[in-house]
Amino acid sequence: MNRVSFELEMDGLRLIEDRTGVEIRRYATPSWFHCTVFDRHDYVKAACVAEPQSLFEVHFSAAIEDPTAITRRLLKTIFGTLFSRYARIVAKVEPDNYHSADVVRRLGFQYAGFLRRGLDGNRDAYIFDMLRDDCRWLPGYEGGTIIRHDFAGEPIGMH
């Protein structure tokens, strides 16, 4: 059985840093949203952190060692909590990290643009975002409100 912590867990932050290459332990505070999933031996299976950027936006970072740690119930809790406070959740992904881009899209994030030096001030990033209406993990989801775009920003099926 997994144990889930919503406290600031250094082991979870370390996993995110290892996977993203972005130093966050130095800046993370207890006021950020934190979630770490441990197995019965206290091994970190998954972790996420959300850093507030403004009164309406939060930046989301995650690392997953074991996909079975991410349950529907956990996704409902994470996104329900974040959307109770913020209007938009943003995730940044390195352009050559196809696996992470696929994961954020499967979670429901939509491609929103490209940001030069958007990761740690040195590496470029694709930007993905999600609004409450686009979050299939929440009650009342009716299919979202956006036109789906490919990575070039063109509406899919409109080429």
As a whole number of Å, the CA-based R_g of the chain is 15
Distance CA 159, CA 141 (A): 29
Distance CA 131, CA 139 (A): 14
DSSP helix/strand/coil, 151: coil
> Residue 147 above 80 pLDDT?
no
Lowest mean pLDDT among 49-63, 116-130, 132-146: 132-146
Look-up: residue for tokens 């499967």? 106
Hey, where are the domains in the chain? Answer: 3-134
Write the DSSP string, 58-96.
Answer: EEEEEEES-GGG--HHHHHHHHHHHHTT-SEEEEEE-TT
Both tokens assigned to 130: 């999600």
Q: What is the pLDDT of residue 151?
A: 57
CATH class of 3-134: alpha beta
Distance CA 61, CA 67 (A): 15
What is the model's pTM? 0.87
> Residue 159 above 60 pLDDT?
no
> Residue 142 above 90 pLDDT?
no
